[in-house]
Amino acid sequence: MINLRTLAGVATVIATATALTLAARQQPVPTAAQPIAAETPKAAPVKGREADTEAIRKSSVDFAAAFNKGDAKAIAAMWTEDGECREAGGEVFIGRATIEKVYAEFFKGNPGVKVDVIIKSIRFPAKDMAVEEGLLRQTRNDKDLPGSTSYVVVHVREDGKWKMSLSSEAGVGQDRLEDLDWLLGEWTTKVKEDDVKLSVVRDPKKPVITATFSRTSVGKEPVHGSIRIALDPETGRIRSWGFEDDGAHSQALWFCDGKSWIIDARGVLANGTPTAERIIMQRVSADAITWRSIDRVIADTPVKDTPPMRLTRVTKK
């Protein structure tokens, strides 16, 4: 397994409906009818092959640990003598010595790069063969948006030990909800005197992330809403749907420019007025993000861009 590119991650759940809410409440409206580094998850063991499944899982944990230390020699030792490594860009590296050299050069040119291995499945087509599939998620630092590639590894058992005989990566630039795991949790900020809170969770059974938000103003009823984020099955891109308790709603498409996520949102206020905006989302650190709304329109009236707003992760005491 090797990822010779850092991919820009997918991103943020804060915005869509929330930003439309803030825009609407900051501007007079024409009246009308009113997912850290994540731990490698355990693959479900195959009946009768529980020990082998655990051994394959442990090899992935060891791979991530060696990668994050920049230990090319330890990584290469996980391959068979004549193993093959096929990276996402199409290059093929054959032999343990070559693989070690490639990793050493990669670590030299990419200091501090980290990777998580997310195992999706492990199966055993033969007694001494295993096929592992999953995702490699890579980041360079706390400001970097995580990005991922899919991988397939063929393991073989040699002298009682499991080794990688073939690894292959693919899917550079594809949208994946796993790249949003860093955003899971509780976030908060202040807008003037208003308290804004955001909670982001992953559905344990479905490929959906749900964010709920609230905005509390002094002397007013709190505003509540929710956002559902998923992959659009027609386009394979991330799309979100936002809903507020007063009936306002929105949809958004997400695009990444390499450093930020640009969320192109269209919505309708509770009074039926159409809205549009682009939200620029950036990661400041592991526990802070900023977003700003630009190109804002309410009905046919352009609205001033907002300054960057900083949201901070709520840490548990």
Domain assignment of residue 6, yes or no: no
- Strand arrangement, sheet containing 79-86: 92-94, 79-86, 161-170, 147-158, 129-139, 114-126
Domain boundary (113, 143, 170) is at 170
The top-scoring range by mean pLDDT among 12-16, 166-170, 289-293 is 166-170
- Shared domain for 117 and 160, answered yes or no, is yes
Band of pLDDT at residue 65, cut at 50, 70 and 90: very high
pLDDT given at position 191: 82
CATH number at residue 267: 2.40.128
| In a shared domain, residues 151 and 217 | no
Mean pLDDT for the stretch of residues 41-57 = 80
Tell me the two tokens of residue 82.
């004549």
Q: Provide the domain count of the chain.
A: 2
Section 63-80 average pLDDT:
97
Whether residue 42 lies inside any domain: the answer is: no
pLDDT at 220: 86
- Residue 305 resides in a domain: yes
Q: What residues contact residue 309 under an 8 Å CB cut-off, 6+ apart?
A: 189, 191, 290, 291, 292
Residue 27 has pLDDT above 60, yes or no: no
Asked whether residue 178 is domain-assigned, the answer is no
Residues with Cβ within 8 Å of residue 10, at least 6 apart in sequence: 145, 147, 175, 176, 177, 179, 180, 238, 254, 256, 261
Residue 11 lies in a domain: no
Distance CA 232, CA 275 (A): 22
Q: Which of 306, 315, 256, 189 is nearest to 12 (CA)?
A: 256
pLDDT of residue 146: 86
Q: Are residues 195 and 241 in the same domain?
A: yes
User: CB-based burial of residue 179 (10 Å sphere; 0-12 exposed, 13-18 middle, 19+ buried)?
Assistant: buried
**For 111-132, how does the pLDDT look when each residue is reduced to its tens digit (9 = 90+)?**
999 999 999 999 999 999 999 9
Q: Is the pLDDT of residue 34 over 50?
A: no
Task: Answer whether residue 125 is part of any domain.
Answer: yes
Which of 170, 197, 225 marks a domain boundary? Answer: 170
E strand or H helix at 102: helix 96-109
Let me know if residue 219 belongs to a domain: yes
In this structure, the answer to whether residues 294 and 236 fall within a common structural domain is yes
* pTM exceeding 0.75: yes
Same domain, 154 and 209: no
For the record, the structure tokens of 122 come out as 């492990």
- Spatial contact of 315 and 286, defined as CB atoms under 8 Å apart: no
**What percent of the chain lies above the pLDDT cut of 70?**
85
Summarize pLDDT for 90-114 with one digit per residue, the tens.
999 999 999 999 999 999 999 999 9
Q: Which amino acid type is present at position 39?
A: E
Co-location of 285 and 212 in the same domain: yes
Tell whether the model's pLDDT for residue 17 goes beyond 70. no
Do 269 and 161 fall within a single domain? no
Residues 133 and 193 placed together within one structural domain of the fold? no
- Domain span holding position 203: 17-35+184-313
> 204 and 307 share a domain?
yes
43 HSE (CA, 13 A, CB side): 30
Both 227 and 301 in one domain: the answer is yes
Residues 193 and 134 reside in one and the same domain: no
* Domain closes at, from 113, 148, 170: 170
Residues 197 and 271 in one domain: yes
- Asked if residue 202 lies in contact with residue 209, where contact means CB atoms within 8 angstroms, the answer is yes
Q: Give me the chain's average pLDDT, please.
A: 84
CATH of the domain at 117: 3.10.450.50
Residue 7 lies in a domain: no
